[in-house]
Structure 1
Amino acid sequence: MYLADRTWPELGDYVAEESLAVVPLGSTEQHGPHLPLATDHLIAEALAREAADRGGYLCTPTVDVGVSPHHKQFHGTMWVDPPAFRDYVDSFSRNLSYHGIDRIVYVNAHGGNTEHLREVGRRLREDEVAFAVEWMWDESIPTLVSDLFEHNGPHGGPKETAMILHIAPDLVREEKLEDARDGGLVELSDGDLFVHGARNYYDAIDNTENGVLGDQTDATPEKGERLFEAATDQLVNLLDWIDEKDFADLMAKPHVDPQPGSRRS
């Protein structure tokens, strides 16, 4: 069920029985010469809507702009500062809780969002507003990703290329796949990432001239479909697991005994 397509009475029927929402989040940032800037939020929305439909859950509109200042040198990249992003996600999550949603899965397809979504989840849990967790699609199926691609690359690589070939093939510039590979960094370990134990980079351009990593020529629509189906299965399983839990069991555990002040007269 997609929230924005429904009327308010229809949503009332949902929250009268269910209390879980799926929130897709991505970015609008460079993904090399072969993929659109929409790559991350396209993947997040496709997975979130498919899993919500299969499981009978509520999916919200997508957050298209995330924490992406590390791609700022490339044309078109948009970003918000981390505090603004955290406060925005926290605010609309509390809005969802007002309508009866007390379990939220952030379906995330952008690594720059991860630590901030986890921080928001901690805030909401500490306040006992909602149980909110961040889910990253490729981290749910690491073995499959490794099996399919020799050089999968953490950004703009064959795994994301394959996913977009499956989700939105018309947006992939297939004639640019070799350029993406040859102008980027095929193997991250070949880069000069650390100096005497210190990570010496902040931006993507510090490692790769065209902004991407991995061997994009290894991507196919068929591999994208396998990734999509496997990740969707994992997401549905997560949604069902959270939905079946008692809310109290999802909240922070109490302080160990003896309780503070319990022996004071």
Structure 2
Amino acid sequence: MYLSHQTWPELGDYVAEESTAVVPLGSTEQHGPHLPLATDYLIAEALAREATDRTNVLCTPPVRIAVSEHHRQFHGTMWVEPGVFRDYVESFSRNLTYHGIDRIVYVNAHGGNTQHLREVGRRLRRDETAYAIEWMWDESIPDLVSSIFEHNGPHGGPKETAMIMHIAEELVRTDRLEAARDGGLVDLTEADVRQFGSRTYYDSPDNSENGVFGDQTDATPEKGAQLFEAASDQLVHLIEWLDDQPFEDLMPKPHVDPQPGSRR
């Protein structure tokens, strides 16, 4: 059920019976010379729509601009400050709770959002408003991702390339796959990212001249379909699990006994 396509009475009928919502989040940022800036939010929305269609759970419109300052040197990248992002997500999440939602899955496809979504979830849980959790698609199927790509990459690599080939193949510049590979960093072990135990990079171009990692020529639409199906299954399982949990079991545990075992 896509929230934006419903009427308010139809949504009233939904929250009379259900209290779970799914929110897709991505970014608008560079993904190399071969992928669109929309890559992350396209993946997040496609997975969220697929899983909510299968579970009849509410799906909101996607969040398209997020925490991406580390890609700012590349044309077109848009971002907001981390605090602004956290406050914005918390605000619309509380808006959902006003309408009767008490559990939320943030379907995330951008690594820069992860820690901030976790923090928002902590805030909402702390005052027992809602239980909100972050889900990152590739982290739900790590063994599959590792097994089908020899040189994977955390950004603009073959996994994201394959996913967009499956979701929106017309947006992939297939004639630039070799350029993406040759102008980026194929093997992450070759990156000089630490000195004496300290991480010495902040921005994407510190490690990759064209902003991407891995071997993009290893991506195919068939591999993208395999990833999409496997990740969708994981998201469906998560939604069904969350929907089944008693709300009180999702809330924080009580303060520990100050003197456990003592007699009073």
- TM (norm. structure 1) is 0.97
Shift of 1:189: 1.3
Letter in 2 for 1:93: S
CA distance in 2, matches of 1:152, 1:225: 17
Equivalent residue, structure 2, for 1:58: 58
Shift of 1:207: 0.3
Letter in 2 for 1:7: T
* Matched residue SS, 1:16: helix
Shift of 1:187: 1.0
1:175 and 2:178 matched = no
CA distance in 2, matches of 1:224, 1:98: 37
1:152 and 2:152 matched = yes
* Matched residue SS, 2:118: helix
1:88 and 2:88 matched = yes
Q: 1:24-35 alignment to 2 at 5 Å? A: 24-35=24-35
Q: 1:157-168 alignment to 2 at 5 Å? A: 157-168=157-168
Q: 1:101-112 alignment to 2 at 5 Å? A: 101-112=101-112
Letter in 1 for 2:257: D
The number of equivalent residue pairs is: 263
Superimposed CA distance per residue, residues 95-136 of structure 1 (whole angstroms, 9 cap, x where no aligned partner): 000000000000000000000000000000001000000000
* Structure 1 alignment gaps of length 5 or more: none
Superimposed CA distance per residue, residues 24-58 of structure 1 (whole angstroms, 9 cap, x where no aligned partner): 00000000000000000000000001100001100
Letter in 2 for 1:256: V
Equivalent residue, structure 2, for 1:202: 202
CA distance in 2, matches of 1:227, 1:263: 56
Shift of 1:258: 4.1
Letter in 1 for 2:164: I
CA distance in 1, matches of 2:105, 2:149: 28
1:18 and 2:18 matched = yes
Equivalent residue, structure 1, for 2:44: 44
List, as ranges, runs of 4+ consecutive aligned residues in structure 1 with deviation greater than 6 Å: none
* Matched residue SS, 1:53: helix
Equivalent residue, structure 2, for 1:127: 127
CA distance in 2, matches of 1:167, 1:54: 17
Superimposed CA distance per residue, residues 75-101 of structure 1 (whole angstroms, 9 cap, x where no aligned partner): 000000000000000000000000000
Equivalent residue, structure 2, for 1:8: 8
CA distance in 1, matches of 2:189, 2:130: 40
* Structure 2 alignment gaps of length 5 or more: none
Letter in 2 for 1:18: E
CA distance in 2, matches of 1:75, 1:166: 25
* Matched residue SS, 2:17: coil
Equivalent residue, structure 1, for 2:235: 235
* Matched residue SS, 2:52: helix
Superimposed CA distance per residue, residues 176-211 of structure 1 (whole angstroms, 9 cap, x where no aligned partner): 000000000001110111011111100000000000
CA distance in 2, matches of 1:153, 1:122: 29
* Matched residue SS, 1:168: helix
